Structure 1
Amino acid sequence: MTACDLDPDALESVADYVDHTTSEVSEAVTDADVVVVAVKPDIVGAVLSDLDLSPDQTLLSIAAGVPTDYVEARTDANVVRIMPNLAAETGDMAAAVTGDDIPGEVRQLLDDVGEFAEIDEGQMDTATAVNGSGPAFVFYLIQAMAEAGVEGGLEESDAETLAAQTFKGAAETVLRSDRSTEELIDAVCSPNGTTIEGMEVLWDSDADADVTAAVRAAEERSAELAAEFGDENDA
């Protein structure tokens, strides 16, 4: 595995995780079966212009908001678009993937760092909001639960640990259980117990609508970014 970047500090930060580092694009991609383009959306075009790839190679684009057709118009390689999230660092990533041909090497790579869902290109803006932006929304909720714990007298570090681990455990339960989230909620809520009292507050609030609004706002921004690249394609 070869990492390529013009920033020496960036290369140094990943040196322990790759076989080779370089600042020369041609050196990085010449013999590569899979080339990952992980750059900011506004420089994708410039990066692609420096890549001379063949149809036998696969280009993985993880630039948010950049449509597949924009990339395909600028390379001969097989294009796979991925929206990952930062939980790849811990092997718990949720990724959305789209492409006409997703090779085995790519599937294995994604399996190694978490879970992935194959979706249509037209669903990418929604997926970007759910799994790409989603970690920030979850961090916000963890923070809110932890702050409630601190207000109740818990030490800040204890409250954060309890809140974060509760989210982690609940997420694992959802992934491993055959029951729906509604059924899981019911399983925790005992009649006249503590959980049902808290859930009544949430059910009577606009919490679900606010979460939906946050997802829609992120989705709309992703669509705006995609439209900008579409206009560039038409120019």
Structure 2
Amino acid sequence: MDSIGIIGCGNMGGAIAGSLQMEVLVYDSDALKAKQLASSKETISVAESLGALLSTCNTILIAVKPQILSTLYPELRALGSDKKRWISIAAGIPLSVLAEQLATDEIVRFMPNIAAQYGSAVTAVAPAEGCSSSLREDSLHVASSFGSAFLLPESQFSAFIGISGSAIAYVFSFLHGLAMGGVAQGIAYPEALKIASDTMKSATSLIDATKANPVDLATRVCSAGGTTIEGMKALAQGGFEGLVMRAVEASSEKSKMLEAKAANQGK
């Protein structure tokens, strides 16, 4: 695949367009937004209309809000053809609805997180059951261009949201808590936050390098009667692990509810 069309030039659509090492044709109802995006990189150009984009590109990434997408289906069906290949990042719109509305199985869903604009997103990739292997591979390549990509069945999307899409906010909260703890102990917040953030990076680097279980790594840090075990005891007494698991469950269940609602509305 040497080119792609992107409908929607918002934060996520713009981030993806800017990360791709290929020719990108973009369209947005806000023409100024599309032009500003195109001015940021030579490989990005602007389609004069949605029809122009659809007539030019065979692979199209849909990067508009779900409520906007629902108004575009008739035009996408009318101007598209059964040879078009679709990638959707519209949150909460299941493959079954997309397949019905676009009249094809050549569809892949993405679930990226907000770090896409910095090339560090974690993205779930779910192909429709009848999706071709070529679109599956091309989609993984696209998703990998702005971070890491995980091929998952759509049934696991809600769980993915719980441990990644929404969980990035839990990580922010944890880092803030660490930094505030540093403030309480006499380190200014900006420096405490930088120390905590770098510590988070060092921890994930160890997991990546050693492939060890996080629990094993944590026990290596804990020495008998030392400082770390005191902190670990405080986390255990506060129910830290269980609280995190409940947060994952809450986000996952909310995602399932929203997907079920979207599926019913699409019928």
The TM-score normalised by the length of structure 2 is 0.81
1:194/1:35 CA distance change after superposition, 3 Å: same
CA distance in 2, matches of 1:175, 1:12: 40
Match of 2:85 in 1: 58
Displaced runs of 4+ in structure 1, greater than 4 A?
Answer: none
Question: Which amino acid counterpart does residue 110 of structure 1 have in structure 2?
Answer: A
Match of 2:239 in 1: 206
Match of 1:176 in 2: 209
CA distance in 1, matches of 2:249, 2:33: 33
Q: Is the 8 A contact 1:65 1:125 kept in 2?
A: no
In structure 2, stretches of 5+ residues that fail to align are: 1-23
Which of 68, 73, 84 lines up with 1:43 in the alignment?
68
CA distance in 1, matches of 2:119, 2:170: 19
Question: Which amino acid counterpart does residue 142 of structure 2 have in structure 1?
Answer: L
2:60 alignment partner, SS class: strand
Aligned residues: 234
1:9 CA drift (Å): 4.8
CA distance in 1, matches of 2:201, 2:163: 17
Kindly report the root-mean-square deviation, in angstroms, between the aligned alpha carbons of the 2 structures: 1.9
Q: Is the 8 A contact 1:36 1:60 kept in 2?
A: yes
Q: Is the 8 A contact 2:125 2:140 kept in 1?
A: no
Which of 256, 263, 266 lines up with 1:223 in the alignment?
256
CA distance in 1, matches of 2:177, 2:33: 33
In structure 1, stretches of 5+ residues that fail to align are: none
Q: Is the 8 A contact 1:96 1:119 kept in 2?
A: yes
Which of 108, 123, 143 lines up with 1:80 in the alignment?
108
1:6-49 Cα shifts (integer Å, max 9, x gaps): 12453255221452124621122322232111122222221233
Question: Is 1:97 equivalent to 2:120 in the alignment?
Answer: no
CA distance in 2, matches of 1:230, 1:142: 36
Q: Is the 8 A contact 1:62 1:83 kept in 2?
A: yes
Question: Which amino acid counterpart does residue 62 of structure 1 have in structure 2?
Answer: I
Q: Is the 8 A contact 1:5 1:23 kept in 2?
A: no
Match of 2:94 in 1: 67
1:40-59 Cα shifts (integer Å, max 9, x gaps): 22222212332133343321
Question: Is 1:6 equivalent to 2:58 in the alignment?
Answer: no
Question: Which amino acid counterpart does residue 177 of structure 1 have in structure 2?
Answer: T
Question: Which amino acid counterpart does residue 33 of structure 1 have in structure 2?
Answer: N
Match of 1:164 in 2: 197
% identity of equivalent residues: 27
Q: Is the 8 A contact 1:53 1:76 kept in 2?
A: no
1:126 CA drift (Å): 1.4
Question: Which amino acid counterpart does residue 144 of structure 1 have in structure 2?
Answer: G
Q: Is the 8 A contact 1:2 1:21 kept in 2?
A: yes
Q: Is the 8 A contact 2:37 2:44 kept in 1?
A: no
